[in-house]
């Protein structure tokens, strides 16, 4: 029997190998063109993403983190403002809110979806609330209808952090176009990953789109005329050209992820493992396949011994991070998040996984649980 292929958490090289000719051709086209900053590749890619998500505008920027930052800059968020968001996610949301001088106001999560619990949101809204940033974590959509209703009532814009959820939908509508703006990351390990850093903001609002376009190039519309304070956060032309190739495969790759997730679900059937919940209102794109286990650390230790990679996203809640202590809250403030942090375990998930690998991963977890 041939040996099993080594298991990777993500397999960016394996994916590249399959589309190598097209990717190389796109990269060489840009290198030969001399158009390295903005230009046709960037604007075409912006249009293609906008079309894919069914929104009017896409504004490329340098990363998902910058997408969040420039979105808030476009809304004029700054000192003294509050932004309602989740404590259970990557640091970028909290970091950019605080960088702009605003304060993150956390809302605990729903234990099944791991996303901000809309029923707890109303209590977090004050006169100072300038935006709500839900995060579609792991590729599962946030329950948007109650959020949109509350946001409209208070006239507060929603910025969707869809860094892990490009292509996911909510009640048949792609995420990104539900709120006022959507923020995308093309970090290499994301479902649509570049060969470096890249990001984008999408919106249906023409005035915000125009402002965003200025903010990402030093607040300028005409070169050397600066109308507002901006930053240098452009989407690299080389990345845009390669991402254009990959975008053609995204739906197929989402299907491959979903298929792998369904196989994991079947293999775990009848065990004590809490498999990912897929809410009836959304289509999960499985950026992560995240299970819950009471004895998570013991199982993780066993997986390390077996050389099976895994991830813990995220090991520290944002309300207890040192860097963000100005917005910190004591332990016990967000009990659902705090228990998730002790129990979540993300398994290898990518488009190149095979059945034999998945069976080995699941069997190893089941063995570890019996110990
Ligand atoms: C990856 C990610 C980001 C940041 O994206 P970068 O492109 O790495 O800056 C922000 N939010 C979430 C939820 C992410 O997963």
pLDDT tens, 272-282? 999 999 999 99
Distances (CA, A) of 277 to 114, 206, 293, 324: 9, 36, 14, 30
Ligand 1 neighbour 191 (Cβ under 6 A): no
- Return phi, psi of residue 107, to 5°: -125, 130
Ligand 1 neighbour 65 (Cβ under 6 A): yes
Angle 165-68-186 from CA coordinates, rounded to 5°: 45
Please choose, from the candidates 33, 18, 22, the residue with its C-alpha nearest in 3D space to the C-alpha of residue 237: 33
**In this predicted structure, what is the pLDDT of residue 1?**
54
**Distance from the CA of 205 to the center of ligand 1, in angstroms?**
23
Tokens of 16: 């590249």
Ligand 1 neighbour 114 (Cβ under 6 A): no
Residue of 90, 135, 311, 349 best suited for mutating to test ligand 1, as the one with most atoms within 8 Å of CB: 90
Please choose, from the candidates 263, 91, 227, 225, the residue with its C-alpha nearest in 3D space to the C-alpha of residue 161: 91
**In this predicted structure, what is the pLDDT of residue 96?**
98
- Annotate 23-55 with b (16+ C-beta within 10 A) or e (fewer): beebbeebeeeebeebeebbeebbebbbebbeb
| Ligand 1 atom with minimal separation from the 68 CA | 10
Euclidean distance between CA atoms 45 and 226, whole angstroms: 26
Ligand 1 neighbour 324 (Cβ under 6 A): no
**Distance from the CA of 195 to the center of ligand 1, in angstroms?**
15
Which positions of the chain have pLDDT values less than 50? none
Please choose, from the candidates 196, 224, 232, the residue with its C-alpha nearest in 3D space to the C-alpha of residue 73: 232
- Domains, in order of start, for the chain: 12-247 (3.40.640.10), 250-370 (3.90.1150.10)
Tokens of 135: 């995060």
288 close to 313: Cβ distance less than 8 angstroms? yes
**In this predicted structure, what is the pLDDT of residue 4?**
84
Residue of 10, 61, 62, 64 best suited for mutating to test ligand 1, as the one with most atoms within 8 Å of CB: 64
């Amino acid at each position: 029997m041939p040996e099993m292929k080594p298991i990777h958490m993500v397999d960016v090289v394996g994916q590249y190998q399959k589309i190598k000719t097209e990717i190389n051709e796109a990269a060489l086209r840009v290198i030969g063109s001399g158009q390295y900053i903005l230009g046709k590749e960037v604007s075409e890619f912006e249009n293609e993403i906008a079309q894919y998500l069914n929104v009017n505008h896409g504004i490329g920027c340098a990363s998902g983190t910058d997408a969040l930052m420039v979105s808030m800059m476009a809304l004029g968020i700054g000192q003294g403002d509050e932004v309602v968001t989740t404590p259970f996610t990557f640091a970028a949301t909290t970091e950019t809110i605080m960088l702009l001088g605003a304060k993150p106001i956390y809302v605990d999560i729903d234990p099944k979806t791991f996303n901000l619990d809309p029923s707890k949101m109303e209590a977090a809204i004050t006169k100072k609330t300038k935006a709500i940033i839900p995060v579609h974590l792991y590729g599962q959509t946030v329950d948007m209808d109650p959020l949109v209703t509350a946001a409209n009532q208070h006239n507060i814009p929603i910025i969707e952090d869809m860094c892990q959820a490009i292509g996911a939908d909510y009640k048949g509508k792609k995420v990104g176009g539900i709120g006022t703006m959507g923020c995308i990351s093309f970090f290499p390990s994301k479902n649509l990953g570049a060969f470096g850093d890249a990001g984008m903001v999408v919106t249906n609002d023409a005035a915000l789109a125009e402002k965003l376009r200025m903010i990402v190039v030093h607040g300028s519309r005409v070169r050397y005329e600066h109308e507002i304070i901006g930053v240098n956060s452009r989407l690299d032309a080389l990345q845009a050209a390669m991402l254009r190739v990959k975008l053609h495969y995204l739906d197929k790759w989402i299907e491959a992820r979903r298929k792998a997730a369904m196989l994991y679900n079947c293999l775990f059937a009848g065990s004590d493992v809490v498999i990912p919940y897929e809410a009836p209102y959304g289509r999960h794109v499985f950026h992560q396949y995240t299970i819950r286990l009471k004895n998570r650390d013991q199982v993780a230790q066993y997986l390390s011994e077996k050389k099976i990679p895994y991830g813990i996203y995220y090991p520290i809640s944002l309300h207890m991070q040192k860097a963000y202590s100005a917005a910190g809250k004591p332990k016990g403030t967000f009990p659902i998040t705090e228990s998730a942090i002790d129990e979540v375990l993300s398994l290898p998930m990518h488009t190149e996984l095979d059945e034999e690998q998945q069976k080995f991963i699941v069997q190893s977890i089941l063995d570890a649980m019996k110990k």
